[in-house]
Structure 1
Amino acid sequence: MTAQIQLTEPTTSATDSGQATFAEAAREAAKVAAVTQRTTQQPDYNELALHFRPIFERIAAGASQREQDHVLPVAQIRELAEAGFGALRVPVAEGGFGATLPQLFDLLTELAAADSNIPQALRGHFAFVEDRILVESGPARTMWIDRFVRGELVGNSWTEIGAVEVGDVQTKVVPAPELGEGSFRVNGTKYYSTGSIYADWLDTYAERTDTGKRVIAAVSAHQAGVTHRDNWDGFGQRTTGSGTSTFVDAVVHEDHLINFDERFKYQTAFYQVVLLAVLAGSVRAAEREFATEVRQRTRTFSHAAAGIWREDPQILQIIGELGAAGFAGEAIVHRAAQTLQGAHDAALELRAGQIDVQREEEFNDVAELASAEGQIALTPLATNALSHAFDALAASATSVKKNLDRHWRNARTAGNHNPWVYKARLVGDRSVNGVQLPRVWAIGASSTKA
């Protein structure tokens, strides 16, 4: 549960009038059409979904009780991993499912409707997979692909709290020649380390002391130098496994150090769209459970619009609005994922010499814009729809035993990441002044004194 950082520098452009022209709008539409065209060749989604839906159903059956008892979904995540869920994006020829990004995010939305904690717990894993499938063929790529196919998972370990200024990093990677050639030690503490408690490897943002470069240290979680605390104290998304990860002379080899400026460029958009899937899935889960409660309710009010609760048109309207919000959420996630696919394809085309860097950057800008606009639209839509859903059941909806409030709490928590109000301002600046959205965002202590 962390704001992510991307080191691609933002670009700024504006029309002479300071406003977007019809020609610019047409170019944007052309980019969108290109994205859609390039995602038509794909595996069959129904086959993918049918493979995992029985697991999703089992996950959904225990989701409320796990949340109430604070039981981490260790067994559920392991079942998904053993079924190959973590290798969804790995090409078929290399042992995976070869899913497109829209298919991945549609499945994450379905999973979120079963238990919204789990896709967020796997957020760091799928980002790391995305980065590794984009690198050129070779031993390093094969090493990671094989691990993904075996069901090994990667957790997130990026954010530091306290007096760490925005953009700074205190976790250090120090040469340790006494352990052998190419060996290093990692020391530092991370918070919001979502999914790390379930992981085999930790995607750890750090700085090398010998070169001063920012790196991702892929640290094995199975060593004495790594400890995790499940101390995330948010009122929602309670079983994501977020909390504190501590590294005390943890060992990592040089071939597990990845230059951060070589990470895939659309990672910030990618991380955000996972949160959109959490929001959309939370609404769908609430629709299912609130509809069940309405269907089974036998009590009514003297001033109700119908004698039977499940036939009351005002109550049915509330459930219908909740369903429509779920539909809109799914559409937003799918549409944003299409732009991520465009950025992915552009990275491969750049490597093949089919497009230039400027054209690739355009696809990344489209993805960042889509994730931001999706966040701006879906955050209030989901949280408001979930709040209004309680009007469909009167006071009984607030029963702690029913635990219906977890859907609003989960959506509200996911919606508070990477504040959408800032994104709205940036999107407005783009529309009015032609300023592209930055693809650099981070969290830390302010360097400005009050």
Structure 2
Amino acid sequence: REAASPEQQARIYSDILAGHRIGNAGPERHGRAITHVTTQLTRVNGRLELSGQRYYSTGSIFAHWIPTRAIDDAGRPVLAWVRRDAPGVQVVDDWDGFGQRTTASGTVIFEAAPVEEELLIDLVPLASRPGLGGPHSQIIQAAIDAGIAAGAIDAALDFVRTKTRAWPFTVAAATDDPYIIGEIGRLQLDLHAAEEVLARAARTLDRVAAAPITAESSAEASVAVAEAKILTTEIALEASERLLELAGSSATREQYNLGRFWRDARVHTLHDPVRWKYHLLGNYTLNGVLPPRHQWN
């Protein structure tokens, strides 16, 4: 929406509306910076070919299209849309993280994979034009974390009500334990606070998108989403950890699979380091420094 031409948008959107799925070919493993790109788009005998290896390729196994960033012959950043079933495309199901197991975030290998000229998006203009690509990407991640937190709290409520035994010589039922009651109240409060800040960030994105986007309004959107990302990260980790503590030892049995909440929260919240969100907020509030514009802000 922000970088493609109207013709490219019409082509891609029509496929999406027809049920085609978009995967992802994420960052490369080599290089000290996450933005380091060696995947190369080369013109060979008049045909565009893509070569390189990408990792953290969420959803690529189930996709029809796998868009990926690359560098063209002139050293310019581009986004190439490649068919999942195109010759030279190999999707390897080697994601072995202990959480987010069904995201299929493995490896994608391009070996002289053909790229249609009409499906090559120039990313250079994005560097100088304020937009909402980063905030949109980030609010999706924050919403996922909020969902994990809500699921963990629901699971805790169900387990405590139906299976958790009271600690000896204290109360008759776990639901009467004043410390469990207090912890549940605190978790619920923190979840509602995170959800409200998340909703406020979404409203900020809608408002900013409804007007011409400036550097200042783009920064406002990034800051609003950063606040939500911090709170949803914290409640996802806290709720998924407290779930097991409140539910008790039996909750760790494999048959209940309650550890999935913590595993998913711990892995997904590493999508980008939340410590830099605090820095972003502080630098913006104290020094008026606008956040850098990229897909993690």
TM-score normalised by L of structure 2: 0.90
1:174 pairs with one of 31, 36, 42:
42
1:320 aligns to 2:188 (yes or no): no
1:161-218 deviation line (CA, Å, top 9, x unaligned)? 123655431111111335xxxx311100001111111111111100111x32110001
> Residues 374 and 298 (structure 1 numbering): CA distance in 2 closer, same or farther, change over 3 Å?
closer
Q: CA shift at 1:131, angstroms? A: 4.1
Structure 1 portions without partners, runs of 5+: 1-129, 351-358, 443-450
Partner of 1:255: 118
Partner of 1:187: 51
1:403 aligns to 2:257 (yes or no): yes
1:279-300 deviation line (CA, Å, top 9, x unaligned)? 1000111122221111212632
CA–CA distance in structure 2, aligned partners of residues 265 and 196 of structure 1: 26
CA–CA distance in structure 2, aligned partners of residues 316 and 262 of structure 1: 54
1:45-194 equivalences under 5 Å are 130-131=1-2, 138-163=6-31, 165=33, 167-177=35-45, 183-194=47-58
1:85-111 deviation line (CA, Å, top 9, x unaligned)? xxxxxxxxxxxxxxxxxxxxxxxxxxx
Partner of 1:276: 142
CA RMSD of aligned residues (A): 2.2
CA–CA distance in structure 2, aligned partners of residues 195 and 381 of structure 1: 26
1:211-360 equivalences under 5 Å are 211-263=74-126, 265-297=131-163, 299-304=165-170, 306-346=171-211, 350=212, 360=214
Whether the 8 Å CA contact 1:201–1:219 is kept in 2: the answer is yes
Higher relative contact order (CA 8 A, sep 6+): 1
1:379-398 equivalences under 5 Å are 379-398=233-252
Please state whether the residue corresponding to 1:299 is helix, strand or coil. Answer: coil
CA–CA distance in structure 1, aligned partners of residues 177 and 115 of structure 2: 62
Whether the 8 Å CA contact 1:430–1:436 is kept in 2: the answer is yes
Q: CA shift at 1:319, angstroms? A: 2.8
> Residues 199 and 331 (structure 1 numbering): CA distance in 2 closer, same or farther, change over 3 Å?
same
Partner of 1:72: none
Please state whether the residue corresponding to 2:90 is helix, strand or coil. Answer: strand
CA–CA distance in structure 2, aligned partners of residues 433 and 131 of structure 1: 29
Please state whether the residue corresponding to 2:109 is helix, strand or coil. Answer: strand
Whether the 8 Å CA contact 2:132–2:221 is kept in 1: the answer is yes
1:340-360 deviation line (CA, Å, top 9, x unaligned)? 2234323xxx4xxxxxxxx62
Which amino acid in structure 1 is aligned with residue 100 of structure 2? Q
TM-score normalised by L of structure 1: 0.61
Whether the 8 Å CA contact 1:322–1:389 is kept in 2: the answer is no
Partner of 1:50: none
Which of the two has greater strand per residue? 2
Which of the two has greater helix per residue? 1
Which amino acid in structure 2 is aligned with residue 220 of structure 1? R
> Residues 233 and 160 (structure 1 numbering): CA distance in 2 closer, same or farther, change over 3 Å?
same
CA–CA distance in structure 1, aligned partners of residues 168 and 235 of structure 2: 32
Whether the 8 Å CA contact 2:223–2:280 is kept in 1: the answer is no
Whether the 8 Å CA contact 1:325–1:382 is kept in 2: the answer is no
CA–CA distance in structure 1, aligned partners of residues 33 and 161 of structure 2: 52
Please state whether the residue corresponding to 2:23 is helix, strand or coil. Answer: strand
CA–CA distance in structure 2, aligned partners of residues 161 and 298 of structure 1: 44
1:376 pairs with one of 225, 230, 235:
230
